Every structure is written in C-alpha cells, then in structure tokens.
Structure 1
Amino acid sequence: MISCQHDTAVVILSYNGAKWHELFLPLIVAEAHTGYDVIVADNASTDDTLQYVQTNFPTVKTLRIEVNHGFANGYYEALKQIEAKYYILLSADFEVTHGWFPPLRAAMEAQPMLAACQPKIRYYRERDKFEYAGAGGGFMDKYGYLFCRGRIFFDIEKDHNQYDDDIEVFWASGGCFMVRADLYHKVGGLDNELYAHMEEVDLCWRLKNAGYKIGYVGSSTVYHVGGSVISYGSPQKLYYNFRNNLILLLKNEKSSKLVWLFPMRLVLDGVAGLRLLLKGDIKEMLIIVKAHFHCYRDIGKWLGRRRENKKLITTRNEEGIYRRSIVWDYFLLRRKLFTDLGWKPRALRDK
C-alpha cells in the first residue's frame, strides 16, 4: 500500500508511455509542491517505461500492474493500493500548466458535496481549441447522448475565455479527473468491464444518483494530446461508443424512464446503422450491430450491476442533463455551439 505525504495522489496510468513522461512529467513533478504526490501506475508495459520513470524521476512513486486488462481495470487495480483523501486520475498524454492544481483542490475543500471535478481541457496540438474528450465539462441529453461544453459532436470551439466559470456538470473527463477517494471506493470505482470508454461517465452517474455533485473548474487548465488509449474515429472507438452508452443506461437510468428510453435508443441506433449502410460504410454498420449484440449477450451482468447500484441511490442529482435532444438540435436545428442551445448550467456552489 502506498501512503502519500500530501492528501492528494496524482495517479498516472502508463502503458509504454516513456515518450509522454519525458514530455510531461517534469512540469507535473515541478508543480507537486502545490500539494500532491505523483504516482505512476505501470499497466504491464512491454518496454522500459517503469525503469525510465524510476531512474529519471526519483520523487515519483511507482507501482506495477502485472496484466493489462484495459484503462478502467488499470485504475481499478492501482487505486486499491493508494491511500489518499483525493485521487487525480491523469492520463499520461496530458500536459499540466503552472497553478493547475490549487483551484481543483480548493473547489473540493470548499464543497463537501462535490464528489469529483475536472479542469478546462484544451487540445495540445491546436492550443487555442478545446479538446474533444472533456473540453469545458460533460453533459447528457434526455436520450442519453453525451456531449461537452465546447464540443458538440464534430464541432470543437476555440477557447475565448467563454467557459472560465465554475459550474455543475453531469460528468467529468476521466483524462484529468479529481475525485474523493472515500466516495470513489464507496460507489465501486471505475467499472473495469467497460474497458476504456465512458467509464468515468458511469462513475459520475453513480455519484450523482447518490446525491453528490460533479464539477467543472474553469480557472484550472490542462492540455490533452488525445487518442492515445483508443484512437478517435477508430472501429474500436465506435464499438465502445455504442456498446458502453447502452450499458450506462441499463446500469444507472431510473426504471420509469428506462422502460421507454432503451427501446427508443435501439431504434435511434438502428437509424444510425442504416445511414452508414446507405453511405456504403458496411464495416461501420456491422460494428454497431456487434456492439448491440455484445450488450444483449451480457444483459444479465448489467442488470446485476444495476441492482448493486440501486442500493446506493438516495436523492438523484440530475443537474447537467439537457432536457432536449442534442441530436435534433445539432443536426436539424444546426445548433453547433454550446451557447446556441440557450441553456445555462448551474454555478458550482453549495445548495
């Protein structure tokens, strides 16, 4: 078991990630004096990543996971071995900035009902833009589709300081995710069956169903390279996008809504598959079919997880759910920017 000098452990899950550590660990370590320990959890790397970190960053604590079963399982195994008040799950391909940490910790300390939060996430390669996976905080529409402030489907905004505020969101990005350690373990942590996509949304949903808040802290900024676990636009990404989104609904949605929403999602996903077929994208269409088949094949497992999650439900916190269809608004009404939605999320403050 690793005990921390500070109350926060920044835990970087790494698989053959020496190139990222060479780029990004120096500033992460330099900023550690603001109040955190740095831990690299090596997810069964096949190269000399672990030795590289131990040799070049002697203040960084390390642990090794013997078998790589994916992103979610890597953190599942690592966090069982770390004692801290707060965890920050930080992907290896993130660049932090000077002063990135104190605003996150201050938000958590000020609000006991804040279970988790994320900073502003910008794109490493086009630094004036938000980054696809997290941007200015995560939301979900009435049909379970996910989007971000600063990124709706394929449109990514430039950062003009329009999202520098602190707000409640529905989910925080797993790429840079600060969470209370006791609550993380209380609700069961990341579901390792989800492998490497939407696992943070699932965790946030469980925390919100237990009555807690999820936040976005706009005064903290980090940069993300992106696509280093599962490449954006890849068949694997498409598969987990469809499969895991259905699993989220089965595990966490209230029964009165799930009874009509799940069949509707089957129809909507079928429309998406038909659209791909008409375009001649047969392989992509078959990936959607495969994702659905695998979800149904294991439906007993997901309903079992649903029963476990139900024991944790208190007063559901539904802040961050967009009460319209983001698909309708984006594709038909051409509302490409978050501000086009005419919706203002609640400020992050105690109720």
Structure 2
Amino acid sequence: MQPRVTAILVAHEGAPFLDRTLAALAAQTRRPDQVVAVDLGSRDGSAALLAASDPTRMLQAPARMTFGQAVDQAVRVIPAPEGDHELLWLLSADNAPAPDALERLLAAIEASPSVAVAGPKTMEWDHPGYIHEMGTTLTTLGAAVPVVDVELDQAQYDEMSDVLGVAAGGMLVRHRLWDELGGFDDALPVIDDALDLCVRARLAGHRVVVVPAARVASAGDAAPGTAFLGKRTPRRRRRRLRRQA
C-alpha cells in the first residue's frame, strides 16, 4: 500500500515562525496527504495564520496543553490506522522542513519495515550551516541529551542511522505504533517525552533512525515536549555559534 501521511502542526505563540514553516510545508516534494493544525490558545495571530493555510482540520486547544496532548487531540479527529502504511509527521510552529524532508523520511521507513520512527537532522533556524540537534541519547544519570548539539555541519555525521531517540520536531512515526504506545507520556515531566517514546518503540522491537538527508530548521531547544517549548535564548545560541565558528 502507498504510505499515507498526516502532518500535525502545533503552534503556541508561533507567529514569528509560521510564515516560513507553512511555506516550507506547502513546498514539500512529497506533500502530506492531510494536515491537522492545532493552536494552543495563541494571542499573537497564530490561529489566523494556521487557518489561512487551509489545513484539512483546524483545532483550538488550551494554552496549558502539552505538545503530546495536542498531537493526541489531532489524532482523535482522524480515522484509526488500517495498517503500518499510515504515518504521523509531527511539527511545531518553529520547524521548517527542507523541500525534500518528508520524501527522505518516508524513503527511510519504506526501505525497512522494521523502522517505526524516523527523525531528521535539525538545523539552526538562523544559521542553516549548523546542526541544531541530531539524535538523542541518555547520560548515565538518565538525562536526555542530544547526540549532536549546535555544531558546524560538515557531513561528519551523515552516516548515522540507528539511534536511541530522535527529537519530536520533524519526527515521522507509524500511526499504529503511536496508538499502541499511547503517544508521549505526560507522567514523565523530567524525561524528554520524545526520547521516552523512542525507547518504548525500541523495546517493542522496532527501529528508530535518524535520516541525515532530511533537514528541518528549528528555532527551539531540541523540540517541544512536556514543557512544550523550552527555548535556548538567542543570546546563548549566538555565543555558542561564535565559539564554534
């Protein structure tokens, strides 16, 4: 069966980023089959921008809702999956995918039935030559950390594949697996919920891969999770980029 992709775009006060993200979503070489947009109580015009993009479904939710809860709300308004060919593509307002991002992620999943979760190489929003994050792992104390974090992209990690986890922003996950695992676990306020989902997917016998050829620009710190948008401040980001230039 041909894969069927539902893009779920979640925004909370995302107006500064949405023009770029929505344009990038519309420019995909392999466009999603449907788009569900969820606005979390924004007061900056995000809801109007989302509605103007003509999504398949437009939902409103409380600002206090987490990213995972917003995704769950979107999942509830689409039909239940009929097979492993149905996928969810998770994006937040500040995730702008490169034109071939979805095509590349899909290729990785179609090439191997054992792959259930695929994540992109996320790039710095204002510095496209720098990797924002690529893959996630755990420290010995159980803290979630990026495998690669704010580093000049010289193709040095382009052979990476299987990883412990990937960020939520840009994640492509089989819809059936999302339902089986219950999505992100809001009972884990400290552990990164995307990494937790990926670990549970691996324990269930599935593979989690990062796809270096699939790029998604990100302005957030890692990706929206339990705290929704934990941002690295622009000043801190600029200092890190200057140190590595």
Same fold (TM over 0.5): yes
Deviates more, 1:18-27 or 1:28-37: 28-37
Preserved contact between residue 88 and residue 176 of structure 1 (Cα < 8 Å): yes
Aligned-pair CA distance for 1:32 = 6.3
Aligned-pair CA distance for 1:197 = 6.3
| Cα shift readout 1:175-224 (whole Å, capped 9, x = no counterpart) | 11110000111011111334696111111111111111111011111111
Provide the aligned C-alpha RMSD in A: 2.5
**Residue matched to 1:150:** 148
Identity, % of aligned positions: 24
Amino acid at match of 2:58: T
- Give SS of 2:134's match: coil
Task: Report which of the two has the higher share of helix.
Answer: 1
Could you list the structure 1 runs, at least 4 aligned residues long, displaced by more than 6 angstroms after superposition. Answer: none
**Residue matched to 1:231:** 231
Preserved contact between residue 130 and residue 136 of structure 1 (Cα < 8 Å): yes
Aligned length: 221
Aligned-pair CA distance for 1:66 = 4.5
CA distance in 2, matches of 1:108, 1:6: 10
Task: Report which of the two has the higher share of strand.
Answer: 2
Mapping for residues 196-235 of structure 1, pairs under 5 Å: 198-227=192-221, 229-232=229-232
**Residue matched to 2:163:** 169
Preserved contact between residue 7 and residue 32 of structure 2 (Cα < 8 Å): no
Preserved contact between residue 71 and residue 195 of structure 1 (Cα < 8 Å): no
Amino acid at match of 1:180: R
CA distance in 2, matches of 1:140, 1:197: 10
Mapping for residues 92-131 of structure 1, pairs under 5 Å: 92-131=93-132
Q: 1:142 to 1:197 in 2, by over 3 A?
A: closer
Q: 1:35 to 1:88 in 2, by over 3 A?
A: closer
The answer to whether 1:37 aligns with 2:31 is no
- List gaps (5 residues or longer) in structure 1: 234-351
- Give SS of 1:169's match: coil
- Give SS of 1:204's match: helix
- List gaps (5 residues or longer) in structure 2: 234-245
- Give SS of 2:161's match: strand
Preserved contact between residue 3 and residue 87 of structure 2 (Cα < 8 Å): no
Q: 1:32 to 1:193 in 2, by over 3 A?
A: farther
Quick one: which of 18, 23, 27 aligns to 2:15? 18
| Cα shift readout 1:109-150 (whole Å, capped 9, x = no counterpart) | 22222111101111112222111xxx2211224442333332
Aligned-pair CA distance for 1:59 = 4.8
| Cα shift readout 1:229-260 (whole Å, capped 9, x = no counterpart) | 12337xxxxxxxxxxxxxxxxxxxxxxxxxxx
Preserved contact between residue 118 and residue 176 of structure 1 (Cα < 8 Å): yes
Aligned-pair CA distance for 1:27 = 2.0
Using CA pairs below 8 Å that are at least 6 residues apart, which structure has the higher relative contact order?
2
**Residue matched to 1:57:** 53
Q: 1:89 to 1:196 in 2, by over 3 A?
A: farther
CA distance in 1, matches of 2:15, 2:74: 19
CA distance in 1, matches of 2:11, 2:220: 14
Amino acid at match of 1:24: T
Amino acid at match of 1:108: I
Quick one: which of 153, 166, 183 aligns to 2:177? 183
Deviates more, 1:120-129 or 1:66-75: 66-75
Preserved contact between residue 162 and residue 207 of structure 2 (Cα < 8 Å): yes
Structure of greater Rg: 1
Preserved contact between residue 123 and residue 130 of structure 1 (Cα < 8 Å): yes
| Cα shift readout 1:248-278 (whole Å, capped 9, x = no counterpart) | xxxxxxxxxxxxxxxxxxxxxxxxxxxxxxx
Preserved contact between residue 70 and residue 196 of structure 1 (Cα < 8 Å): no
The answer to whether 1:139 aligns with 2:137 is yes
- Give SS of 1:179's match: strand
CA distance in 2, matches of 1:136, 1:147: 10
- Give SS of 1:69's match: coil
| Cα shift readout 1:82-109 (whole Å, capped 9, x = no counterpart) | 3361001111101211211111111112
CA distance in 2, matches of 1:197, 1:23: 30
When the two structures are superposed, what TM-score results if normalisation uses the length of structure 1? 0.57
Q: 1:195 to 1:139 in 2, by over 3 A?
A: closer
